[in-house]
């Protein structure tokens, strides 16, 4: 390996700019090539990150994999392309950090995990909430026993997604493989499962499309194997730019994160306490680089993507059939 971890980008659109900045800022890695079929996206990336002005660019990521010496790739492409791109990259001997969702079906998620195991490559998902102090604290309290036996989890996310993504690939099911539930909603589905350690058993979901070709608003009720219940509401037709609420209730107490007011914790017989948190000290890109260097474990492994795919696909099937769906059938 060279002095710095060499990373190629598959997809150079808007979300990739932040990844490039964090990689450069780390001082441990460098972006050595960019692949994107859009010349405009490639030009914008180089304009925003002048240090990338001389890196080679490719319309086809497979040409980049064949021609440029690299240690890893980051994938920031439309959702339907993720699976094949991950498989191709690992076959090329490269570690992979993939934007969410890792995969859009359970079968695809299992396929990429099998490839990871066969190749021995690192495979991570860019779920940044794994590094957010408040969500790490919620996980500590929920899985460490402080709240007692977990009974109910409620997740709400609201975003002006329908209008903001109109006319883009995100509302084309042939490219996005799904709507808001599989896009921004993927983060909250992941948090539901990661912070609590709960395993979904059965899902009932309803969706509204508002004349779009993909799901916009989704509400699902979840029964977990432990007996706990949960409700997830992902709104894409909301006036808010972005808002989320996340609450966990147990037999001994509760913890609630409201994006507008912060984290509040309360135990039976005690006054409510507000918790304060600083900024994250780590991020998906830095963690990925450190994992390649053998300094850290990957914090959002592919198994998180599999669990999200199970819950998401079960929700889609339930909404289509108007019947509960067992996650074990996925």
Under the banding of pLDDT at 50, 70 and 90, the label for residue 2 is confident
**What's the confidence (pLDDT) of residue 157?**
98
SS3 sequence of the chain:
CCCCEEEEEECCCHHHHHHHHHHHHHCCEEEEEEECCCHHHHHHHHHHCHHHCCCCEECCHHHHHHHCCCCEEEECCCHHHHHHHHHHHHHCCCEEEECCCCCCCHHHHHHHHHHHHHHCCCEEECCHHHHCHHHHHHHHHHHCCCCCCEEEEEEEEEECHHHHCCCCHHHCHHHHCCCHHHCCHHHHHHHHHHHHCCCEEEEEEEEECCCCCCCCEEEEEEEECCCCEEEEEEECCCCCCEEEEEEEEECCEEEEEECCCEEEEEECCCCCEEECCCCCCCCHHHHHHHHHCCCCCCCCEHHHHHHHHHHHHHHHHHHHHCCCEEHHHC
Residue 288 has pLDDT above 80, yes or no: yes
- Among the residue ranges 171-175, 266-270, 326-330, the one predicted with the least confidence is 326-330
- 182-186-188-189 Cα dihedral, nearest 10 degrees: 90
The predicted model gives 169-192 an average pLDDT of: 97
Residue 26 has pLDDT above 70, yes or no: yes
Distance between CA atoms of residues 216 and 190, nearest Å: 18
Closest C-alpha to 101, from 311, 317, 325: 311
Residue 286 has pLDDT above 70, yes or no: yes
Whole-Å CA distances, 169 to 60, 80, 174: 18, 10, 9
Burial of 4 (0-12, 13-18, 19+ CB in 10 A): middle
The predicted model gives 27-53 an average pLDDT of: 97
Residue 277 has pLDDT above 70, yes or no: yes
The predicted model gives 181-195 an average pLDDT of: 98
Distance between CA atoms of residues 312 and 295, nearest Å: 33
The predicted model gives 181-206 an average pLDDT of: 98
Under the banding of pLDDT at 50, 70 and 90, the label for residue 1 is low
Share of the chain above pLDDT 70, in %: 100
Under the banding of pLDDT at 50, 70 and 90, the label for residue 272 is confident
Residue 190 has pLDDT above 90, yes or no: yes
Residue 133 has pLDDT above 70, yes or no: yes
Rounded to two decimals, the pTM is 0.96
Q: Which two tokens stand for residue 240?
A: 């808010």
Residue 245 has pLDDT above 80, yes or no: yes
pLDDT in tens, 295-314: 999 999 999 999 999 999 99
- 129-279+308-329, CATH topology level: Dihydrodipicolinate Reductase; domain 2 (3.30.360)
Distance between CA atoms of residues 78 and 175, nearest Å: 6
Average pLDDT for the chain: 97
- 5-128+284-300, CATH topology level: Rossmann fold (3.40.50)
Q: Where are the domains of the chain?
A: 5-128+284-300, 129-279+308-329
């Amino acid at each position: 390996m060279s002095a710095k971890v060499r990373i190629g980008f598959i997809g150079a659109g808007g979300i990739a700019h932040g990844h490039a900045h964090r990689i450069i800022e780390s001082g441990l890695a460098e972006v050595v090539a960019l692949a994107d079929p859009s010349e405009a996206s490639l030009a914008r990336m180089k304009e925003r990150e002048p240090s990338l002005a001389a890196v080679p660019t490719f319309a086809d990521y497979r040409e980049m994999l064949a021609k440029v010496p690299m240690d890893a790739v980051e994938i920031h492409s439309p959702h339907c392309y993720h699976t094949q791109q991950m498989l191709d990259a690992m076959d090329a001997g490269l570690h992979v950090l993939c934007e969410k969702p890792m995969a859009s079906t359970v079968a695809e998620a299992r396929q990429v995990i099998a490839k990871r195991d066969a190749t021995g490559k690192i495979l991570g998902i860019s779920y940044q909430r794994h590094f957010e102090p408040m969500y790490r604290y919620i996980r500590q309290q929920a899985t460490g026993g402080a709240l007692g036996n977990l009974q109910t989890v409620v997740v709400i996310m609201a975003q002006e997604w329908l209008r903001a993504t109109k006319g883009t690939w995100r509302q084309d099911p042939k490219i996005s493989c799904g709507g808001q539930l599989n896009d921004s909603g993927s983060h909250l589905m992941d948090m539901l499962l990661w912070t609590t350690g709960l395993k979904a058993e059965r899902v009932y979901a309803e969706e509204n499309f508002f004349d779009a070709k993909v799901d916009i608003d989704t509400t699902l009720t979840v029964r977990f194997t432990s007996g706990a219940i949960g409700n997830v509401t992902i709104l894409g037709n909301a006036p808010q730019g972005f808002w989320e609420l996340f609450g966990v209730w147990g037999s001994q107490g509760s913890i609630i994160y409201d994006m507008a007011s912060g984290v509040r914790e309360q135990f039976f017989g005690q006054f409510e306490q507000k918790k304060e948190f600083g900024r994250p000290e780590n991020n998906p890109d830095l963690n990925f680089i450190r994992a390649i260097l053998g300094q850290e474990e990957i914090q959002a492994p592919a198994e998180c993507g599999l669990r999200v795919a199970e819950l998401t696909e079960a929700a889609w099937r339930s909404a289509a059939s108007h019947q509960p769906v067992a996650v074990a059938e996925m």
